[in-house]
Amino acid sequence: MTSKTSDLFRQLRDARRTKGLTQSALAAEAGCKQSAVSMLELGKTDAVNTETLARIAGILGVQLPKDTSNPPPKPLGKRFCPQGECPSNIPFSVNGELLFHPRQQADNTGLHCRYCGEVLESTCPNCGAAINEGACCTACGHSYVQHTPEGNRELWAAEQRKNIAELKSLF
């Protein structure tokens, strides 16, 4: 990260604070997640895409340098969305336990889920092992996607599968 880039992120953070905005409020206005704003302010250049960065800068009244393009993406390998509500994850119930089969997104360019926009994961959230094809890590047994819906989990999973099928039929 260049000094110019770190200055930009510091300038965005300072402008947000001056305007009295929380990271969550800025994220809602810019159409991204609070975690993306946080990572951006920490200097993570890949936290948001160029369009979102431009929206954030516009909201805060910060002038972007002429060249804010991200470098060409490095191959990322297989990744998955960690959000249980995301249509990329197929819910199923085993003995009353809700699990998700994450649809891996291996386009090697996206850092964000193409369905919901969440930052994609490439390792087990529990032990950090590389992901495999199933719903759970083969190294530690932890499920990749965590979500606890209200009410009957089996009914919730069935409803989500129905919604996902309807979504797929649109494309």
- The predicted-structure confidence for 4-15, as pLDDT tens digits, reads as follows 567 888 899 999
Other beta carbons less than 10 A from residue 118's beta carbon: 18
* pLDDT for res 58: 92
Helix (H) or strand (E) holding 3: helix 3-18
Model pTM score? 0.48
* pLDDT for res 68: 47
pLDDT at position 159 over 90: no
pLDDT at position 2 over 60: no
Backbone angles phi, psi at 71, to 5 degrees: -65, 160
pLDDT at position 87 over 90: no
Domains of the chain (ranges; CATH) run 3-60 (1.10.260), 89-170 (no CATH)
* pLDDT for res 18: 92
* pLDDT for res 118: 83
* pLDDT for res 75: 54
Region 24-35 average pLDDT: 89
* pLDDT for res 67: 59
pLDDT at position 3 over 70: no
C-alpha to C-alpha distances, 131 to 13, 88, 98, 111, nearest whole angstrom: 34, 16, 19, 16
* pLDDT for res 106: 59
Letter for the amino acid at 16? R
* pLDDT for res 61: 92
Question: Hey, what are 61's tokens?
Answer: 């009244």
pLDDT tens figures, 42-86? 887 677 888 888 899 999 999 887 754 555 555 556 788 888 888
* pLDDT for res 59: 93
Stronger pLDDT, 171 or 3, i.e. the higher one: 171
